[in-house]
Chain A
């Protein structure tokens, strides 16, 4: 498809397990973002990738969170030793250009993560 694709759509796991979330951006989009959205709340910025530049990791809440992106393609967000407070929807977005504010971000449907 032409949109941002995320997998899995839902993930239920036990506290303490590691999880890996995947994002396929729109082809040709150089900027890729990960956000976390808790129930009824806004989007919390996690990390930003722009081409081959060093990622902006300023939003990652702890060292249990990490993300990778190969070139301008797929990105994975990994959460190690999951905690119950990690339960949320994790959204990925991509945009063309340099990721400036005026470039619309195109979002995937998210991964709904539930930690038991």
Chain B
């Protein structure tokens, strides 16, 4: 089976940097993905890591260490619109298993 752990809540101020961690246990690992979901909205894809290291996409970066079964999402220059839930998800050959999500609140 697969299981993931991520913090339930994170709070930061506008302009700051925040890191959301994700640890996982899985059989058959095909990569770690991150999704963003605003209240009442659809999840949207942010990033994917198949190999160890850092992937950067604008203000967002994602990191993976397969040996530690650990990854994180780094959000820089936080904006109010970044307030949302962030889900990590591990992939098998055919499907994703999602974590319970981290609610990020950005304060002015």
Contact = CB atoms under 8 A, between A and B. Distances in A.
Interface string B29-58: 011010100000111110010100000000
Given A41-B101, A42-B99, A42-B100, A100 B42 contact: no
Interface stretch (A43-51, A62-70, A79-87): A43-51
B91 A102 contact: yes
A100 B43 contact: no
A33 B101 contact: no
Interface residues of B, number: 25
Contact of A100 (B30, B35, B44, B89): B30
Contacts of A100: 30, 91, 93-94
Interface size class of A (residues with CB under 8 A): 20 to 34
A41 B102 CA distance: 10
Given A101-B30, A102-B50, A45 B42 contact: no
Contacts, number: 67
Contacts of B97: 45
Given A42-B87, A42-B101, A43-B87, A101 B96 contact: yes
Given A106-B45, A110-B42, 13 more contacts: A42-B98, A42-B101, A43-B98, A45-B95, A48-B94, A100-B93, A101-B48, A101-B90, A102-B33, A104-B45, A104-B48, A105-B35, A108-B42
Lowest 6 A-B CB distances belong to which pairs? A101-B91, A104-B45, A101-B30, A107-B42, A43-B98, A42-B100
